[in-house]
Amino acid sequence: MIVLLNGSFGVGKTTVARILRAYLEGSAIYNPEWVGSVLMRVPKWIKLKRTGENDFQHIKLWRKSTITGIRVYRWITPGTVIVPMTFTHRDYFDEVVTGIKSFDSELKIFCLKASLNTIKIRLQQRGTQIEGAGSEWIARRIIECSNAYIDDYFGEPIDTEYCSAQDVAADIASRLN
């Protein structure tokens, strides 16, 4: 099984993934963000379509490598593969979900949600600047996430507003069982 944890930056996806891993025997976390970080830094002589837009999800190679990476992890992991990600573009989300479902029909998608104010507080608590020079990208993206996650398109909603990461992980584990 593959568990996709979608949600805004700062909502707690990575923390919940780490805790959830303890609930799911034999599970592993695959975080495709590191591939995106590498692709964003590829030398300029390698032309990747849509680089330079400050979001690796625009890079088709990233979306394809995400699907491939999850497939490899699914093949080598005896248990569940947990994937923390942030999707707000429906087309990109659909592309990755369709790719995953082509090799694992047991895909479960959860969307961790919290108010914009709570997201801002959590980001500040972890040391992320959300206002002023240099913070324009994160400020824009958390608003995009807040708007995108109004409906349930991006996964089964999990309210994290007044919950600890431990409580959220326990809730997800109970929904999986």
What length is written for the chain?
177
Whole-prediction pTM value? 0.90
> Is the predicted pLDDT of residue 123 greater than 70, yes or no?
yes
Q: What are the angstrom distances between the C-alpha of 124 and each of 33, 50, 161?
A: 21, 30, 16
> Is the predicted pLDDT of residue 50 greater than 80, yes or no?
no
Q: Could you tell me which residues come within 8 angstroms of residue 112 by beta carbon, excluding any fewer than 6 positions away?
A: 5, 6, 7, 8, 11, 12, 13, 16, 158, 160, 168
Q: E strand or H helix at 67, and its extent? A: helix 60-76
Could you give the domains of the chain?
2-176 (3.40.50.300)
**What is the arithmetic mean of pLDDT over 85-101?**
95
> Percentage of residues in the chain with pLDDT exceeding 70?
89
Q: How does residue 43 score in pLDDT terms, banded at 50, 70 and 90? A: low
